[in-house]
Structure 1
Amino acid sequence: MKQITNTILMIRPVAFRMNEETAINNYFQKNIDGEVDAITKKAQEEFDAFVSKLQNVGVNVVVIDDLKENNTPDSIFPNNWVSFHENGNVALYPMFAKNRRRERREDILATLEEKGFTIKNIVDYTEAEEEEVYLEGTGSLLLDRANEKAYCALSARADEQLLIEFCEEFEYMPIIFTANQTVNGERKAIYHTNVMMCLAEDFAVICLDTIDDKKQRKAVVKSLQDDNKEIITISEEQMHEFAGNMLQVEGAFQKKFLVMSERAHQSLTTDQVAKIEKHCEILSSDLHTIETLGGGSARCMMAEVFLPKED
């Protein structure tokens, strides 16, 4: 199976703001004073510039507008409610915040089908919300599609049993651990795996300092080494600059790019940049407003589309 794709689904914001429902366990979110309209305009400018950069290098970006009437401030992060797979499967995920559940839209799937993508089967985990059990897509699940492994840092938004159910259904081996960050002097679970770790074809960018349990840390390192991935470590401080929230994509002529925010890019050391650039080029974009209010960065904004396509 392919690890990276050249097609990305992105949702353009229409009423962007800090989501009060997610702020309770997303410690990356910070408020910015300002009117919703002004903040939305800034977020849209960042979004459009980011999309342009991706398209300019040949990434196929499917842009869909958010619906204002849905009142979904986090719709800009579609990778949490849906994942698309090479066998034509689509998974729909249970979301922790009630106002995020409205982000799931059938018309988005219909649009992909209109564009020639084949959806064979929808695997729907959303009923778990009734039990207050959550697994937030490729925010929670870091899929090593090529080696059929799913890395997952357990949290209020990533349930172990549901992870195992997903792995059985999609034939992945679960690599389970807990990742923490320091919040007011206390170690608390990081809300999504994809803010502390990024999996590319030949390397992984990871904040190993967040895995407090030494055995778990060793197991994660061994798993990556077994698959011959170069491990590029980042500090907890760099993780807070969204240096773990990156995604490798394919552009024109199968050229590879590691996509991240400008803030993440600026936080990297010369040595880390050199290690990444051995494998692929870096593509970064200014996402300051989106990152600050949303508590998610470049990777969260891109839902990878691996569905088969009719010629």
Structure 2
Amino acid sequence: MDHVDLNLLSALDALLSEGSVTGAARRLGLSPSAMSRTLARLRSATGDPLLVRAGRGLVATPYAAELGERVHTLSREVLAVLRPRVDQVDIAMLERTFTIRASEGFVAGLSAALVTAIATAAPRVRLRFAPKPEKGARPLREGQIDLEIGVLGPFAPEVRTQALFRDNFVGVARIGHPLLADTNITIERYAACNHVVASRRGEFSGPVDNALEELGLSRIVTCVVPGFPDAMRIARQTDLVGLVPRSCFGIGFDSDLADTVGLQSFELPVRTPEIVISAMWHPRLDADPAHRWLRETVVAVCRRANQHR
């Protein structure tokens, strides 16, 4: 098989997954020009254009679309077969980049402690925190991320999970807010306020509204934002009352979070479900000693932070 370059398989997988020469180049750590030359080699090898121009982008040909899933499976299997099997790894000498997808709250509250722990034990390891616009197992399945941190959602059944810590919602309001004038924050006074909530899906109602509804009450949600840090910033600068996980406010995690300045948290006058934050990963990485060390480090950092809550 001297005439077969298996590197082309990974390149084709990246091109078909990204649908872009630039995106594929970024994924493989190549320059766009090098990726363009690789695409030309792939076209010559397969006898098909594979990706053709459509407006400002590229679209897969019918043949390329037909190959997509096969190429992805073959690429992963080849990498698994050719990767050295090791049961132990010298963490101090480990050279690897781990991609972690986590919420803004986790990155704000715990990323500094995690980076410090990683750098101390493995100075050659790099961390990449990826944005989390939505939930889904596809990035784990395709190897785009190594570890997912957040609330367990409708993930694929094969995904491995480990609970990291438990959290709960608290209210936040600017210092001097009329609601905080009396330490007795009743359900009626809380419901009478205008509120800001965080929802990636843009939903106006949530667990607090369900609890209020059971008591025959409702609240006015004036504003919906994508993330909890956004809700905290609005609550700090307006009379809107926010709702965030306790960890986002820095209790027991990072008490110097900039977003907490000028804000005061308070216990909600209604009961809401507990939040369980978990680590999630694909089973192909289960036995990987380097990945196992990463998981253990994440667990240790979360436990240390949780002990001070």
TM-score (norm 1): 0.24
Structure 1 or 2: more helix by fraction: 2
- The structure with higher relative contact order (CA 8 Å, sep 6+) is 1
Larger Rg: 2
